[in-house]
């Protein structure tokens, strides 16, 4: 007779297996919901290669899955900003890196800008609206202090305006009005004009 303590996988292995399942589900949700915002939990499970029961074991509802997806996306974006040198690179270069990180984020997570996507509760942590604007504001203020950007407008207002510009540009891409390359170029030029800077790209 096999002792039950010997038959059961060790806790570390169970945690590792659960983490792999969660990562597979979130990655599948990112792709599937990005393409079809109304996709079901069954669709996500099929794409992840797990059962529907496994998805529900980790995410008790569709809203819970979407919230977890948004939180994972936020963490990923903030990590990209952490490595972009926003506080150390020359201000115009840092501003370009900020926009580049945003474009990479939007390409990877199109669900977050899809107007037809079902609404979901706001994540309780890593909320981008709480964290990103202050980082950009600090960057712009540094550029203003250095004389690289115009100082006639408040840095906080410019930060919100730059973020809004990128969201509008991304929406234009989603609507098929411009290509991604065109939107990136237009967004960059508009951002520089808004901030009173000169092109350094």
Q: Check if the beta carbon of residue 41 is closer than 8 Å to that of residue 65.
A: yes
pLDDT digits (tens, 9 = 90+) for 92-133: 999 999 999 999 988 888 777 654 555 444 444 446 777 899
pTM of the entire predicted model: 0.77
Dump pLDDT digits (tens) for 75-93. 889 999 999 999 999 999 9
Domains of the chain: 1-60 (1.10.10), 70-201 (1.10.357.10)
**Residue 193: band (very low, low, confident or very high) from pLDDT cuts 50, 70, 90:** very high
Q: What is the pLDDT at residue 26?
A: 94
Is the per-residue pLDDT at 6 higher than 80? no
Residue 178, pLDDT > 70, answer yes
- Dihedrals phi, psi of 18, to nearest 5 degrees: -65, -40
The per-residue pLDDT of the chain, averaged, comes to 85
Q: What is the mean pLDDT of residues 151-158?
A: 95
3-state DSSP of the chain: CCCHHHHCCCHHHHHHHHHHHHHHHHHHHHHHHHHCCCCCHHHHHHHHCCCHHHHHHHCCCHHHHHHHHHHHHHHHHHHHHHCCCCCCCCHHHHHHHHHHHHHHHHHHCHHHHCCCCCCCCCCCCCCHHHHHHHHHHHHHHHHHHHCCCCCCCCHHHHHHHHHHHHHHHHHHHHCCCCCHHHHHHHHHHHHHHHHCCCCCC
Could you tell me what percent of the chain has a pLDDT over 90? 62
């Amino acid at each position: 007779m096999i002792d039950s303590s010997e038959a059961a996988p060790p806790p570390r292995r169970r945690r590792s297996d659960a983490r792999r399942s969660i990562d597979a589900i979130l990655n599948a949700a990112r792709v599937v919901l990005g393409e079809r915002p109304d996709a079901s939990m069954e669709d996500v499970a099929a794409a992840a290669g797990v059962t529907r029961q496994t998805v529900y074991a980790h995410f008790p509802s569709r809203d819970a899955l979407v919230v977890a997806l948004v939180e994972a996306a936020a963490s990923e974006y903030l990590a990209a900003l952490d490595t972009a040198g926003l506080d150390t690179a020359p201000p115009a270069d840092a501003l370009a890196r900020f926009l580049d990180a945003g474009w990479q984020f939007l390409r990877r997570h199109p669900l977050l800008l899809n107007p037809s996507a079902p609404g979901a509760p706001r994540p309780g942590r890593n909320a981008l609206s709480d964290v990103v604007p202050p980082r950009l504001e600090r960057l712009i203020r540094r550029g203003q202090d250095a004389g690289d950007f115009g100082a006639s407008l408040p840095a906080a207002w410019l930060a919100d305006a730059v973020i809004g510009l990128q969201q509008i540009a991304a929406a234009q891409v989603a609507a098929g009005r411009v290509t991604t390359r065109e939107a990136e170029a237009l967004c960059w030029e508009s951002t520089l004009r808004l901030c009173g800077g000169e092109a350094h790209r």
